Amino acid sequence: MNLPGEFPAGPEFRETLRTGARRAHDTGEVDAASLDALRRSGLLGMMVPRDHGGWGWDPAAANAVIEKIAVDNPSIAIMVYLHCAVVVRIVKYGTEEQKNRWLPRIARRGQLVASAWSEPGSAADKRTLSTTAQRDAAGTWRMKGGKTFSTSATVADFFIVLVQLPATHETAHAAEPAYGGQDQALFLVDAAAPGVHVPPDALDMSGMRGSGTGMVQFQDVPVTDGDMLCSGSATTEAIQLPHRLGLTLGAVSVGLAQAAHDTALRHARGRDLLADERYRRQLASTEVAVRSARAAVSDLTAGSAHDRVLRAYCVKVSTSTTGQTVCRTVRGLLGSAGYLHAHEINRISQDADAVMHMGPPTHLCLDLIAARSTPADR
Ligand SMILES: Cc1cc2nc3c(=O)[nH]c(=O)nc-3n(C[C@H](O)[C@H](O)[C@H](O)COP(=O)(O)OP(=O)(O)OC[C@H]3O[C@@H](n4cnc5c(N)ncnc54)[C@H](O)[C@@H]3O)c2cc1C
């Protein structure tokens, strides 16, 4: 697709991301040069409205950029995706004061925001949380609890934090699968706020090792009503917002599938394998898979918004499966060369596996799809 304006993916930017991806996979840390290039590129502000200093890009353009970044550096791509998913929530649910406080920090200073929702022991549907916010005698909220698997945690400038509020009514969980629970709220919290502790080491994950995915502790953190982005039913709506807009992690899976396909193509050229019809046919099959997944991502934002949330869950499942399938086919094409530990297909495969575990993971998407696939939705 045509991007609205110059995508700053000049050869230098792309090379920084590419070499950074390899380095980060070895060290398990966010690559400093890649993050610095990202902050300076302006891309973190691509979805910030122009009147707050950003580029005002829509979800289709953001998906396209995220896919391109994922080809070179999937860890940076998930950081950008999750960051954009917060930006659109601030734009939609923020007060003017909140927009003026947070959006220019992103657009003008290249600040990065992370989502702190998952908890050790909490299920993917986030219906029950142990991180709480309660008012003290002076009326200030006090946030307590611990989050895990927060992408960008080790380098984020601020967090969007999902918390449980004191119950306002008899909470009976809906029998239907849901994403988010009752009496919950989202707060925006500065990483430097008193009581916020981020262990410097990221989780030692198999894939997405350069994404700074880690833990965050909130030890009696004072927050005000002015820090609350939304609460109650608006919180479950806000959780769904990226899906409602068509902003999708599927873009990352498409970029990963493209990277795997490109790896097979380079291998074939290097070994003069393209003369072999069987090899060409296999490459054609991975190309079909990549193009179909890209079309599914584009279709999300094209046309009507009718049942887009349902379609977004379908695209999340299908594209992450495509990412894994293309990697598996390419490993077969590479033979024993691809079985060497240092071969890039192994990093790409591990990164592709990660996407299906990311929110909403495949099992939750399937539950949500099953609950929504009534004849009336079709
Ligand atoms: C790379 C990466 C980045 C992430 N980034 C973030 C982030 O930025 N912020 C954040 O808050 N979280 C993040 N997460 C966490 C993610 O969002 C998941 O929600 C979280 O890990 C919990 O999901 P789960 O599937 O592991 O847990 P559970 O829901 O407890 O499921 C555990 C396992 O049980 C099985 N299972 C459970 N229910 C069903 C069912 N109905 N049907 C079939 N099987 C079922 C599944 O096999 C599942 O794997 C990230 C995770 C990863 C891997």
Domain spans, the chain: 11-111, 115-232, 248-373
HSE value, Cβ hemisphere, 13 Å, CA-based, for 163? 32
Nearest Cα residue to atom 30 of ligand 1: 123
Give the chain's length. Answer: 378
Q: Is 154 in the pocket of ligand 1 (CB under 6 A)?
A: no
Q: What percent of the chain stands above pLDDT 90?
A: 89
pLDDT value at position 25? 97
pLDDT value at position 6? 52
pLDDT value at position 225? 97
Confidence of residue 374 (pLDDT cuts 50, 70, 90): low
Phi, psi of 156 (to 5 degrees): -70, 150
pLDDT value at position 121? 86
Give the residue, out of 358, 362, 364, 366, with the most ligand 1 atoms within 8 A of its beta carbon, to mutate for a pocket test. Answer: 358
How large is the angle between the packed helices 11-27 and 344-357, nearest 10 degrees? 80
Q: Which residues of 301-329 are buried (b: 16+ CB within 10 A; e: fewer)?
A: beeeeeebbbbbbbbbbbbbbbbbbbbeb
pLDDT value at position 2? 44
Give the residue, out of 131, 151, 152, 349, with the most ligand 1 atoms within 8 A of its beta carbon, to mutate for a pocket test. Answer: 151
pLDDT tens digits, one per residue of 322-337: 999 999 999 999 999 9
pLDDT value at position 175? 62
Does the domain made of 115-232 have the CATH classification 2.40.110.10? yes
Correct CATH for 11-111 of 1.10.540.10, 3.30.1510.10, 3.30.1360.10, 2.160.10.10: 1.10.540.10
For the residues 126-137, what does the mean pLDDT come to? 95
Strand ranges in 192-285 using DSSP code E only, listed in sequence order: 196-197, 214-223, 228-231
- Give me the chain's average pLDDT, please: 94
Nearest Cα residue to atom 31 of ligand 1: 123
Residue 375 has pLDDT above 60, yes or no: no
pLDDT tens digits, one per residue of 11-56: 899 999 999 999 999 999 999 999 999 999 999 999 999 999 999 9
Q: Is 75 in the pocket of ligand 1 (CB under 6 A)?
A: no
- Residue 267 Cα distances to 262, 273, 331, 345, angstroms: 9, 8, 11, 11
Which helix (H) or strand (E) segment holds residue 147: the answer is strand 141-150
> What CATH number should be reported for the domain whose range is 248-373?
1.20.140.10
For the residues 263-285, what does the mean pLDDT come to? 94
Q: Is 149 in the pocket of ligand 1 (CB under 6 A)?
A: yes
For the residues 304-311, what does the mean pLDDT come to? 92
Closest ligand 1 atom to the C-alpha of 367? 41
Alpha carbon of 78 to ligand 1 centroid (Å): 15
Contact (CB, 8 A) for 86 and 116:
no
Between vectors from CA 132 to CA 131 and to CA 133, what angle results, nearest 5°? 140
Q: How far apart are CA 367 and CA 361, in angstroms?
A: 10
